[in-house]
Chain A
């Protein structure tokens, strides 16, 4: 596995590299995470001015429990799930259907449609007027409206990743199914969709990450009417009730980050290869 040439082959560097890496992890990542854990473990008085010292007495579980009940975490958690799951299912289904046709039918119209389809990766959504539109559609403040907005924003990501991927799959498999008399829908469901699994996994991870952590779009569309975890964190951190209650803010941060960190810890190898496989070839 050794590379013939590379910076990493210098003998001194081989010795130094692990030390440098360890120091970097400990300072750059370790200190901020340490701050979260020790502050979340402190009592209110100790946490008033957050520092890196250990709590004199650990209150981590008490603080987690207090946040859980006082800040309505379960409600916000289900609000987040209610928005994230349909969004991801919707963009993956609709996005891959469109991508398949866009990749296989190389007409000029489709080239234009593809360009329009991926434009949302880059162009910022119109956050203010979308509120007006939702009001006109009678979807203002509703979960359906929020799901629609997220789908409109992130379907571009799916189209970009999946179209590129479909182009690398040989058409022979599809043709075999077509000759056997399969309808386009059957070909898509039985032949194409299973082949898309790796790229759909990548898209799922990225979109879950974006939607689960989003607060900006949620603020405009559902602010105040439906709670999601980031929206709730934002509210409790800016509200008088939690002002400078750093122990509760960081207890919330731990609760909120845990689901994604657990998912990541279980599937980290797949996730890493998924993210990198899609971006650079």
Chain B
């Protein structure tokens, strides 16, 4: 593919070299034969039917009165949006989803980064410890949710331990607090995925060239200084990847919240997908579709800079 880049070498014996443009064109037609377009068809057919078409439907059925109670589907304009925003559901679910996503992004990256720094050296103990931190990643998020539901009950294991530390019985309902339960659930979500973030930060730490670190040492940089001014900035690609996946993954989250609080108490942890699941179960398909569209728009809005960054990084590679 790079053959078209070289400037034509003037040579009296050969006829006039073909212009760069014709060469690029022949190159392209050869490429078309050796890498046929039909190879793209199965993948994009699947994407079209099972991904883009439903997404397009989202933009249609959010403006109808589609429900499980009657067969006819009629257009109703913005009624669903008006209804959902006038009773406050829309903005509350949006706010909760964003808070949840931000909390998960912060916690998951702090934990993942901390673990990566802690377990950086390749001793056997660290290898074993890394494997243990990967177990939650392998487990189903639903199972993780049930484990913490049991652990965080007012009479559960955590309060039992805290009680024995402080000396008197402790019965705080970790998952029953209208203000703080969202933070607890975000911590559980981060607990499940921190092992993956750790792996990616570890890989990032290992890519930092030794000579750069050596140069810093020769220049007399302290260990802390080296860490914060050289190693941390070079972790940028790992940070991009981790923050993006944590942020977008938790906006699309469901299992952990469903298995711990189910959206409660008083719907203070009801993120968008919980709402969609609940209203869909009640047969209110149009409302569920409307929220699904809201989630799509929310993620799409936040995703454009992310896609840009990911592609940018690939160009550098």
Contact = CB atoms under 8 A, between A and B. Distances in A.
A249 B227 CA distance: 45
Given A52-B160, A129-B58, A233-B143, A148 B306 contact: no
Contacts, number: 310
Interface of B: 1, 28, 31-37, 39-40, 42-44, 46-47, 49-55, 57-58, 60-61, 66, 115, 117-123, 125-126, 129-143, 146-148, 150-151, 153, 155-157, 160-161, 191, 196, 199-200, 202-204, 207, 210, 213-214, 216-217, 221, 223-224, 226-227, 231, 237-238, 241, 244, 248, 251-252, 254-255, 258-259, 273, 276-277, 280, 285, 288-289, 292-293, 295-296, 299-300, 303, 306-307, 310-311, 314, 317
Given A257-B138, A279-B203, A35 B1 contact: no
Interface string A50-86: 1110000000000000000000000000000000000
B37 A24 contact: no
Contact of B35 (A101, A122, A152): A101
A49 B237 contact: no
A101 B289 CA distance: 35
Interface string A185-228: 00110000000000000000000010011011001100000000
A249 B43 contact: no
Interface residues of A, number: 108
Nearest to B133: A29
Contacts of A118: 307, 310
B57 A9 contact: no
Contact of A97 (B39, B199, B207, B299): B39
A243 interface: no
Contacts of A122: 244, 248, 299, 303, 306-307
Contacts of B66: 132
Contact of B252 (A101, A107, A124, A155): A124
B153 A5 contact: no
B147 A32 contact: yes
A275 B276 CA distance: 32
Interface in A140-174: 148-149, 151-153, 155-156, 159-160, 164, 167-168, 171, 174
A97 B34 CA distance: 13
Nearest to A164: B314
A152 B34 contact: no
Given A7-B227, A130-B50, A234-B258, 20 more contacts: A4-B217, A24-B129, A25-B129, A29-B133, A50-B151, A90-B46, A104-B1, A104-B35, A105-B32, A119-B307, A122-B248, A123-B303, A151-B50, A209-B138, A215-B140, A215-B254, A215-B255, A249-B146, A257-B143, A280-B203
Interface in A244-281: 246, 249-250, 253, 256-257, 260-261, 264, 268, 272, 275-277, 279-281
Dominant secondary structure at the A interface: helix
B247 to A, nearest CB: 10
Contacts of A213: 139-142, 255
Contacts of A184: 33-36, 39
Interface string A123-143: 111111110110001000000
B54 A130 contact: yes
A31 B136 contact: no
Contacts of A130: 50, 54, 57
27 contacts: A5-B217, A6-B226, A6-B231, A7-B227, A8-B120, A22-B125, A50-B157, A97-B39, A97-B42, A106-B1, A113-B40, A119-B303, A123-B296, A126-B55, A126-B58, A129-B54, A132-B66, A152-B47, A155-B47, A178-B34, A187-B34, A216-B273, A233-B143, A250-B146, A253-B146, A261-B135, A280-B207
A18 B125 contact: yes
Contacts of B153: 49-50
Interface of A: 1, 3-10, 17-18, 20-22, 24-25, 28-33, 35-36, 39, 49-52, 90, 93-95, 97-98, 100-102, 104-107, 113, 115-120, 122-130, 132-133, 137, 148-149, 151-153, 155-156, 159-160, 164, 167-168, 171, 174, 178, 184, 187-188, 209, 212-213, 215-216, 219-220, 229-230, 233-234, 237, 246, 249-250, 253, 256-257, 260-261, 264, 268, 272, 275-277, 279-281
Contacts of A5: 213-214, 216-217, 221, 223, 226
